[in-house]
Amino acid sequence: MSYLNQNKTPLFTALKEHHKNNVIPFDVPGHKHGRGLKEFTDYVGSTVMELDVNSMKCLDNICNPIGVIKEAEELAAYAYGSDKAFFLVNGTTSGVQAMIMSACQPGDKIILPRNAHKSAVSGLILSGAIPIYIQPEINSDLGIAMGVTVESVEETIGRHPDAKAVFLINPTYYGATSNIKDIVRVAHRNAMAVLVDEAHGAHMSFHEDFPMSAMEAGADMSAVSTHKTGGSLTQSSLLLLREGIIDPFIVKKNLSLMQTTSASYLLMASIDVARKQLAVEGPELLQKVLDLTRDARSRINKIEGLYAFGTELIGTQGVHSFDESKLGVNVRKIGLTGFEVYDILIDEYNIQVELADYYNILAIVSLGDHKEQLDALVEALVDIAEKYKRDEEIKVVNSFLKNPDVIVSPRDAFYSNKKAIKFEDAEGEISGESIMAYPPGIPIVSPGERISKDIIEHIMLLKEEESLLQGTEDPYAEYIRVLGLGSKR
């Protein structure tokens, strides 16, 4: 591909030109430039509503782009070092699902870490693929899962040489990355595609101090949440493809199943501008992100009882590299759970962090952050460590579950007849639903898996901490639907 001018924003430019023409709309959307939804328009602004338009010749169509969307996608592919890029308006979830559906047919095996996002489980249900789980490495001091090792991937491939694909996370929610380049080499040597959930790595290609991206490592596909760390609007993402193992036509066909035919031009235009900003100004902007997080991490580590972990983890099991924009803080030595600190921060300091677990909180630092915001977080943590500290630190227990027993494929379990039973009575049953704390949205149990005593105890612990649980038909997770097969052993 010849050089493409990254200063261009073909879709956003076309959208602005269309807006300038003040066309009289007799098409959808029905609010007609905001006039039909006055209260909302008065609050968000008329320009936003006037840019909320439908597909038309001058603005191209996401289902079969041949104009400005196609040109914008080509610029994105060039910026990220892929052969093709597809705009996503159903989030990275739709990209993960399309990746798995493009690599696997019903009954095919796919190797993936147990800490994969719920979108991967949805991809298994939609594709009919059979999961072969790899246990990620666990840092017992922090109580969180890291990446997977090359050795564990090799060993799993040796036991399942007929698998069609290897699925990776790059980086994990807390910033750890696996040795993705060597894993790609191992997978390709065994004729397996490599699919990468890069939801939290949209920025990593644009500054040398961040971990290697999936495309740089030679992966076949990656789904990238430009909205999480790249600056675009919520729900907008990219699906990247390296041609070879996976047919681009198959990807396009699967995306047409996953995505709306009425794609938001606000979302797509924001991807176009975010790509330009990363490609043109990324190194400078991301250096500021690094400066902010390095300073905040250093200051937090001077607070007695708190530990803001970072690049010192590189070289430990499951941590080949580390994304410093993920500001994880271990709080257990001040006698508080991460859930408690999460609540205190929002309730008393008006600070919203990304997530909490039993031992940690996680703050995401990105392009829109400034020193004032990081100062407020550090000062709040100083205050919390003084005001709320308890004498007895939180005891580290095994907060991450072992690989489950997959009894029935996720797809078969999803479509099977089910019955609802009290969750605490479900030991030995085969789950018909997923249960997860959200965020991060990593299933604790998925359809088709045996519900163990450990799983029940883990969920009950999360409920005690008032963690937000999702996935069950019962919104309070008091009941779970299990396969009505007399499955209990």
Please report the DSSP string for 305-335 in residue order: T-EE--GGGTTSTT-SEE-TTEEEEE-GGGT
Q: Determine how many CB atoms are found less than 10 A away from the CB of residue 453.
A: 10
Q: Report pLDDT digits (tens) over 236-292.
A: 999 999 999 999 999 999 999 989 999 999 999 999 999 999 999 999 999 999 999
Q: Is residue 395 part of a domain?
A: no
Q: Is the pLDDT of residue 488 over 70?
A: no
Tell me the whole-structure pTM to 2 decimals: 0.93
> Residue 489 — pLDDT band, cuts 50, 70, 90?
very low
Could you read off the pLDDT of 431-467 as tens digits, one per residue?
998 887 766 767 888 899 899 888 888 888 878 777 7
Residue tagged 């996976």 (tokens): 246
In a domain, 260, yes or no: yes
Strand 221-224 to 193-198 pairing: parallel
Same domain, 27 and 102: yes
Task: Report how many domains make up the chain.
Answer: 3
Instruction: Identify the burial level of 297 via C-beta atoms within 10 angstroms of its C-beta, where 0-12 means exposed, 13-18 middle and 19 or more buried.
Output: buried
Q: Which residues of 82-101 are buried (b: 16+ CB within 10 A; e: fewer)?
A: bebbbbbbbbbbbbbbbbbb
The CA distance from 209 to 395, in Å, is 34
- The percentage of the chain sitting over the pLDDT mark of 90, rounded to a whole number, equals 81
Q: What is the C-alpha to C-alpha distance for residues 428 and 450, in angstroms, rounded to an integer?
A: 6
Range of the domain at 261: 10-278
Question: Which pLDDT belongs to residue 401?
Answer: 59
Are residues 260 and 288 both part of a single domain? no
Nearest to 364 by CA among 127, 144, 199: 199
- Please tell me the predicted confidence (pLDDT) of residue 441: 64
Q: Strands 193-198 and 165-169: what pairing?
A: parallel
Backbone angles phi, psi at 341, to 5 degrees: -65, -40
How many CB atoms are closer than 10 A to CB 441? 19
Radius of gyration of the CA atoms of the chain, in A: 23
Say yes or no: 382 and 259 in one domain.
no
- Quick one: 425 and 370 in the same domain? no
Which of 255, 278, 301 is a domain's end point? 278
pLDDT for 476 equals 82
Do 273 and 190 sit in the same domain of this protein?
Answer: yes
Residues 362 and 438 grouped into a single domain? no
Residues 376 and 441 in one domain: no
At 421, which CATH number?
A: 3.90.100.10
Does residue 77 lie within any of the structural domains? yes
Residue 396 domain flag: no
Q: What angle do CA 410, 412, 417 make, to 5 degrees?
A: 115
Percent of the chain residues past pLDDT 70, beyond the cut:
96
Q: Do 158 and 76 sit in the same domain of this protein?
A: yes
In a domain, 169, yes or no: yes
